[in-house]
Chain A
Amino acid sequence: MTEKKTTIELKKLNKKFGDIIAVNNVSLKISENDFFTILGPSGCGKSTILRLIAGLEVQDSGAVIINNKDSSFVQANERPVNMVFQSYALFPHLSVRDNIEFGLKLKKISNTDIKIRVEEILELVKMNGYDFKLPSELSGGQRQRVALARAIVNKPKIVLLDEPLSALDANLRMEMQQELVNIQRNLKMTFMLVTHDQDEALSISSKIAIMENGKIIETNTATNMYEYPSKKFSAEFLGRINIIEGASSFIDNRILFNSDTFGKINLDRDIKLPKDGVLGIRPEKIIIETGLNKQKNRVSMNGTITNWTYYGDVSYITIELKNKSKVYINVQNIHRNSLQELNIGKKLFASFDINDLIILEK
């Protein structure tokens, strides 16, 4: 496969607000047609990165390169990027149509072209018929669609989305996530989303960057980020995980991990374990067994259930091993009758595959 074109490149960006370092030496590459997500806890500086790309803030140092052109000091109105704001920021005195046309009119596009494009976009975001409504007459989801339409109608190099779904209720959010992906694929546009919602990031993005305290911790594709994270922070931020601490040693070129929780684990893999490395296992990779599983590639355990949280489709259970360490297990509720077996205080056996272990850097 040929290398994809880079749409946005950030080079060692830095931005401070007073004493607070919002963006700390961030370098990123966003390729064409990516759905790139920056995921991080609130206040980690992810919105600031979007604002720096849009030109609404000026970096202290570093460069913003848009389409191979250094745009670090280009004014916001001259950058080929458009943003969907968290509060939607629709012009309250303009109708839906006027809102969408706003950018096109400034670009001096002929009226007939404007009409055709607005018509297309309204169709795309399923807002046809709402042309002459004011933003105050729309529901949250509809405002969201108009804000998106207003951005993509300009055919920007990249669409920046600043937590656009956070104000919607859960069902509508799921629906809009799916639609965002469809629109992005159909239009072959580059999208960049900022969110603190892990599920949202996993379900819609092609690439995820995890951010903490102004720094990018790790960048990877969505599936790899979940299955093969390399940093403890990103592994923990993307979902529940059992962290296994311990010390490693080499025997015959193989790593023998002496864990606090499960004793000796023979890592049958030819990889380097980083210094202070830990292992991780996702709770859904651990399965409940009827007895002690003695297969070579599996790690077995037995313990007592100390906690059980029911989510309908899955149950989150916590078991306590003999050495007092706790292990999280996600159990799919395949049969409703089997729920009784998960009572607190019950003893059970479980095991996981060594190949599912994640090696993490602290």
Chain B
Amino acid sequence: MKKRIQHYTPVNYAKNNTLKIITFIFLVILYLPIINLIIFSFNDSKRNIVWRGFTSKYYEKLFENEMLFLAFSNSMTIAITSTIISTFLGITTAIALWKFNFYLKKYYDVALLFPIIIPEICMGISMLVFFNYINWPNFQLWPFTLSSVIIAHVSFIFPFVAIIIRARLSMLNNEILEAGQDLGASKYQVIRKIIIPFMSPALVASALLAFTLSLDDFVVTFFTSGPNSVTLPVKIYSMVRFGISPEINAISTLLILIIIICTYFAIRFLSKSNREFMK
């Protein structure tokens, strides 16, 4: 019989049973509440404490609830608009930081990180103070009621986009662009046939990420939204104050579903882009 030789790498995560158990416990603690939330969205009970049988009536109720529908459409409008704006700003920022040298570039680089590292509560309050200070008009007409929230969202989302796209662009060295030129591409064709196709996975991924960041943001939105611009997370928060109903579970489940789908595709595009990394 062949003797099995065991190879020990310094830390062999796949074969360590203790690690497996710890990981399992960790995942359970992390995901159990979410699974619980999803299960109880099908609970046939108003109080939602004990399980009283399966129903999908709360999902049906969702679609009849006009307030919720309004909050949902607000959220989607804000998310789509701020995704488009922050993707555009992110691309231009990334290209500026990648290709050009300008005065105080080093500091601009760091300043770009601030919206990400500043506590969200501070970000929210500063936005609130800012809009008051400049007397941002209180719009009554629908899409404009969302303007302050969109501005706030763009300001903390576009750095994410810029950083992701920039990381991608940093793989594209000057020799690659020169090779394109050498093979017959004009300067315009180098942008169209090399730079844009090259950054597209990062572009899609960062746009999806921007969308989820905007969709699930609560803190900044809470401080910048008015009665006419309630978003889904803010609406859920106000509903929770009157007790947790299966309806909240249902709407949260839908929100989680959208976020999971977006994140899944974002990760897929990013890993495709990482696969091209030259060793």
Q: A: which residues have CB within 8 A of B?
A: 54-56, 75-78, 81-83, 85-87, 89-94, 102-103, 106-107, 134-136, 150, 154
Q: B: which residues have CB within 8 A of A?
A: 171-173, 175-176, 178-186, 189, 193-194, 197-198, 201, 273, 275-279
Chain A residue nearest to B276 in the complex (CB): A92
Query: Nearest Cβ in chain B — how far from A132, in angstroms?
Result: 13
Q: Which residues of A contact B189 (CB under 8 A)?
A: 77, 106
Among candidates A78, A89, A136, A154, residue contacting B279 with C-beta atoms closer than 8 Å: A136
Q: Which residues of B contact A87 (CB under 8 A)?
A: 173, 175
Interface residues of B, dominant DSSP: helix
Chain B residue nearest to A140 in the complex (CB): B279
Q: Are B183 and A103 in contact (CB under 8 A)?
A: yes
Chain B residue nearest to A135 in the complex (CB): B278
Q: Which residues of A contact B180 (CB under 8 A)?
A: 91, 102
Q: Which residues of A contact B279 (CB under 8 A)?
A: 136
Q: How far is the CA of A76 from the CA of B183 in the complex (A)?
A: 8
Chain A residue nearest to B172 in the complex (CB): A92
Q: Are B183 and A150 in contact (CB under 8 A)?
A: yes
Chain A residue nearest to B273 in the complex (CB): A93
Query: Nearest Cβ in chain B — how far from A345, in angstroms?
Result: 50
Among candidates A77, A86, A90, A92, residue contacting B181 with C-beta atoms closer than 8 Å: A77
List 10 additional contacts besides A91-B198, A92-B276; criterion CB under 8 Å: A76-B181, A77-B181, A83-B182, A85-B175, A87-B175, A93-B197, A93-B201, A93-B276, A134-B275, A135-B276
Q: Are B179 and A91 in contact (CB under 8 A)?
A: yes
Q: Which residues of A contact B275 (CB under 8 A)?
A: 134, 136
Query: Nearest Cβ in chain B — how far from A294, in angstroms?
Result: 61
Q: Are A136 and B184 in contact (CB under 8 A)?
A: no
Q: Which residues of A contact B197 (CB under 8 A)?
A: 93-94
Query: Nearest Cβ in chain B — how far from A66, in angstroms?
Result: 14
Q: Are A77 and B178 in contact (CB under 8 A)?
A: no
Query: Nearest Cβ in chain B — how far from A194, in angstroms?
Result: 15
Among candidates A75, A89, A136, A154, residue contacting B175 with C-beta atoms closer than 8 Å: A89
Q: Which residues of A contact B182 (CB under 8 A)?
A: 54-56, 76-77, 81-83
Q: Which residues of B contact A107 (CB under 8 A)?
A: 184
Q: Which residues of B contact A93 (CB under 8 A)?
A: 197-198, 201, 273, 276
Q: How far is the CA of A93 from the CA of B180 in the complex (A)?
A: 13
8 closest cross-chain pairs (CB), A and B: A103-B183, A89-B179, A89-B175, A106-B184, A92-B276, A76-B181, A93-B198, A89-B176
Among candidates A56, A91, A103, A134, residue contacting B194 with C-beta atoms closer than 8 Å: A91
Knowing A92-B198, A134-B275, A134-B276, the reply to whether A103 touches B184 (Cβ < 8 A) is yes
Knowing A92-B198, A93-B198, A134-B275, the reply to whether A106 touches B179 (Cβ < 8 A) is no
Q: Which residues of A contact B176 (CB under 8 A)?
A: 89-92
Q: Which residues of B contact A55 (CB under 8 A)?
A: 181-182
Among candidates A83, A102, A136, residue contacting B276 with C-beta atoms closer than 8 Å: A136
Q: How far is the CA of A75 from the CA of B181 in the complex (A)?
A: 9
Query: Nearest Cβ in chain B — how far from A147, in angstroms?
Result: 8
Query: Nearest Cβ in chain A — how far from B165, in angstroms?
Result: 14
Query: Nearest Cβ in chain A — how far from B48, in angstroms?
Result: 50
Query: Nearest Cβ in chain A — how far from B198, in angstroms?
Result: 5
Q: Which residues of A contact B172 (CB under 8 A)?
A: 92
Interface pairs (6), CB distance under 8 Å: A81-B182, A91-B194, A91-B198, A102-B183, A102-B185, A134-B275
